[in-house]
Amino acid sequence: MSVAAAADRLRSAHRLCVLTGSGISAESGIPTFRGAQTGLWENFNPHQLATPEAFERDPRLVWRWYEWRRELIAGAQPNAGHHALVEIARRIPAMMLVTQNVDGLHQRAGSHGVIEFHGNIMRDRCTREGIAAERSPANKEELPRCARCGALLRPDVVWFGEAIAPDALQGADAAAANCDVFMSVGTSSQVYPAAGLSEIARQRGAAIIEVNVEASDMSAGSDWQLLGPAGEVLPALASAL
């Protein structure tokens, strides 16, 4: 389906809600969740690492995976897709950006008010206090510990089986319920509750645009399916506005 037709609808949008997934960061060199793992980690499935049970069983292994991902992300740059969303936000009266990504690349591209649905990988959280925490400088070789209370730290992300932070959930639900156009970018739409946001929007009468390199679980409910890499489709959409 053509970018021009979707741009026509977008041009008259009053409130746009955009949901992004790991596909938008693929062109920045960050592997998607359900794509193949790379190098060191190709024998591990993210489902075996991103869980509270995995952390309880082997916190060192889980921390090694997160440290590897942090390094990858620290060395990555936002791509044309992230930048195009900043441009699109300038041209629509109101846009809310909800991301399942924990990489912070939208903010580094200049997006404001981003709802981080699954947290942020660069932050540490205290396992005892449940809030963002600084690392104790004492034990460099050991697992990271909280500077305040000494408890083990974990990455400040949502793991499988865990609840979404209430403010992120409420903000995203409201953005989906109140938009007149909903755009999903680079997500397989397999993980709930994020995958349910397009349905909330659709039931409230919003038009649905999907940007993905292939069909996904939400394609059947989309009004416009734009097949192609986000780093090409989103800039084309932005310049057609």
Name the site residues for ligand OAD (rule: CB under 6 A). 21-23, 26-27, 32-35, 50, 100, 118, 158, 186-188, 190-191, 211-214, 216, 229-230
**Minimum CB separation from ligand OAD for residue 232, in Å?**
8
Measured from the CB atom, the residue of 23 and 78 that comes closer to ligand OAD is 23
Tokens 């060395």, residue?
Answer: 75
Strand pairing partners for 210? 184, 225
**Minimum CB separation from ligand OAD for residue 228, in Å?**
7
CA 202 to chain centre: 20
Strand pairing partners for 135? 146
Alpha helices in the chain (DSSP H): 3-11, 23-26, 46-49, 52-57, 59-74, 80-91, 105-109, 166-178, 197-203, 230-240
Strand pairing partners for 154? 125
From the candidates 82, 83, 106, 118, give the one annotated as an active-site residue: 118
83 in catalytic set: no
**Residues 196/175, Cβ–Cβ less than 8 Å:** no
Q: Distance from first CA to last CA of the chain, Å, rounded?
A: 16
The packing angle between helices 230-240 and 3-11, to 10°, is 50
Q: And the tokens for 174?
A: 């409201």
Q: Which helix (H) or strand (E) holds 124?
A: strand 119-126
**Minimum CB separation from ligand OAD for residue 24, in Å?**
6
Measured from the CB atom, the residue of 27 and 156 that comes closer to ligand OAD is 27
Q: Which residues are catalytic?
A: 118
